[in-house]
Amino acid sequence: MNESDSTPLIGQIAIIKKGRDAGQIAIVVHRVDDRFVLLADGDKRKHDRPKKKNIQHLELYDYVSPEVQSSIHETGRVTNGKLRFAIAKFMNEVLEDGKKGVEFDGERRCY
């Protein structure tokens, strides 16, 4: 499930490993170059002001949100609600399947 060494895709789920946002879940909304991506979560980091992060500071998952990916490819934008929905859907699948024992530090709440 974990693909730390691959290049990130638009709409791919990532957990931030380094920095003040460590432990939070976000979605790749843009690839800047081979080293950096822009992340947003629809809550703290909105699509209008994404966070630029080094790929080495992320834990990438092979889960890609089709809603986010299609919205960005079609219009170049995604709503913050879709970002929150995709993260909540990912967390429900991870918690239900129990495949990965990821420690969520409580920073990200599903409403």
Query: In this structure, is residue 2 part of a structural domain?
Result: no
pTM listed for this prediction: 0.79
- Work out how many domains the chain is built from and give that number: 1
What is the distance between the alpha carbons of residues 38 and 51, in angstroms, rounded to a whole number? 5
Tell me the pLDDT tens digit for each residue of 68-89.
999 999 999 999 999 999 999 9
Q: Is the pLDDT of residue 109 over 60?
A: no
In a domain, 43, yes or no: yes
**Which residues face 37 on adjacent strands?**
31, 53
Residue 106 confidence (pLDDT) above 70: no
In a domain, 91, yes or no: yes
Q: Is 42 within the bounds of a domain? A: yes
Quick one: pLDDT at residue 104?
57
Task: Give the pLDDT confidence score for residue 4 in this predicted structure.
Answer: 47
Predicted local confidence at residue 93, as pLDDT: 86
Q: Residue 75: which domain range?
A: 12-96
For residue 48, what is the domain's CATH number?
2.30.30.30
- Whether 110 is covered by a domain: the verdict is no
- Identify whether the C-beta of residue 33 lies closer than 8 Å to the C-beta of residue 15: no
70 in a structural domain: yes
Please check whether residue 3 lies inside any domain of the structure. no
